[in-house]
Amino acid sequence: MSTSFKKRTLFSGVLIASSLATMAYAETPTPGLTVTPSIGYYNTDGDRQAGNDTSYSIGVGYQTNSPLAVEAVYLHSDASKRGRDNDLDQYRVDGLYSLPEFTTVNLTPYVAAGVGMTDVDGDSNNLLVNAGGGVKYAINSDVDLRADFRLVKDIEDNYLDNVTTVGVQYSFGMPNQQASN
């Protein structure tokens, strides 16, 4: 078992444990659509012959009137290893659960998990599961900076990748129903 895998597992365990302890106290966010363009770094499993490289992604989601949100994500990475270029495409549907906001600094941590497909060079479409979390920093009521870390498990080929991204989340909330009061 590699040191990198142990660190990723420890990080995920701490994140999940702290999240479970505070889930009952999460505040209700404003419901509406979200769009999140992101850039990041995709780190593939050492056994996968795809290499590591920058990635970009776009997520389109819906924030419910509870701490739960759902998001469809497309991620692309142009990885190269030993002179071979690889296109890694990922299609996911994720659930996000917002934890209580740190109001003094406008930070909202969240946990996330989902399922999807990974396609490397059009050779295979493998089922994946992912889990992780991140934090959103509110610039204003409609725009958040977002940092995210995910472990991505390729179920069919038994690879464990990880991806770290930063992006901007735009929220298109529902009209305020209390404006007439």
Residue found under tokens 């290499």: 51
pLDDT tens digits, the chain, 181 residues: what are they? 555 555 566 555 555 555 444 443 444 678 999 999 999 999 888 777 666 889 999 999 999 999 999 999 999 998 665 556 678 899 999 999 999 988 888 899 999 999 999 887 767 788 999 999 999 999 998 999 999 999 999 998 888 999 999 999 999 976 654 444 4
Can you read off the two tokens belonging to residue 54? 């920058």
How far is residue 7's CA from residue 13's CA, in Å, rounded to a whole number? 10
C-beta separation of 44 from 90 below 8 A: no
Q: Which CATH class is domain 3-173?
A: mainly beta
Burial state string for 162-175 with b = 16 or more CB within 10 A and e = fewer than 16: bbbbebebebeeee
The model's pTM is 0.78
Q: Is 139 helix (H, G, I), strand (E, B) or coil?
A: coil
19 phi and psi, to 5 degrees?
A: -70, -45
CA atoms within 13 A on the CB side of 141: 9
How far is residue 43's CA from residue 125's CA, in Å, rounded to a whole number? 19
